[in-house]
Amino acid sequence: MAFLTELPLQLDALVAEVAAPECGGIATFLGLVRNHQEGRAVERLEYSAYHPMAEGECATIVAEAMAQWPVRVAVRHRVGTLLIGDAAVAVAAASAHRAAAFEACRYLIEELKRRVPIWKKEFFLDGSVDWVEPR
């Protein structure tokens, strides 16, 4: 299934995708649009992506996780306009034991944020606008 989507993310669907009879634990992470950024009140975010490269880089990161841990994983990132509380990214990792599930889930979200060509423009309540750049 595609990594990028314009539709709302469904954590339950991701969990169902990775669940399997041999799995004893599923760790998930949901990244949400929050109402503040460095002290300023946020109104909405607009996410854009370089789609073919984002899909490829995501597949690479997923393969890296599956090579490091015995996990089943799923990742999804939303693009378009998101409001406060909307989920921008969702990650799920299932494994026989919980340590692998946690470690793979953390690896996936850290690498996705660092390596996948996605950008977000922040619209503040005071009318100002900023491209978000990692610190």
Q: Binding partner of residue 104 among another protein, a copy of itself, none, CB under 5 to 8 Å per kind?
A: none
Strand 80-83 and strand 25-32: pairing?
unpaired
> Applying CB under 8 A, does 89 fall inside the site for another protein?
yes
* Minimum CB distance to a copy of itself smaller for 19 or for 63: 19
Contact 78, 88 (CB under 8 A): yes
Nearest to 33 by CA among 19, 41, 22, 44: 44
What minimum distance in Å lies between the beta carbon of 19 and a copy of itself?
6
Q: Is 23 in the site for another protein (CB under 8 A)?
A: no
- Choose among 85, 95, 73: nearest CA to 25: 95
Q: Which does 8 bind (CB under 5 to 8 A by kind): a copy of itself, another protein, none?
A: none
Considering the rule CB under 8 A, would residue 49 count as an interface residue with another protein?
yes
| Adjacent-strand bridge partners of 5 | 78
In this structure, the number of other CB atoms found within 10 A of the CB of residue 117 comes to 13
Q: Which of a copy of itself, another protein, none does residue 6 bind to, with CB < 5 to 8 Å depending on kind?
A: none
For another protein, the binding residues (CB under 8 A) are 31, 47-50, 52-54, 56, 77, 88-89, 109, 112-121, 131-134
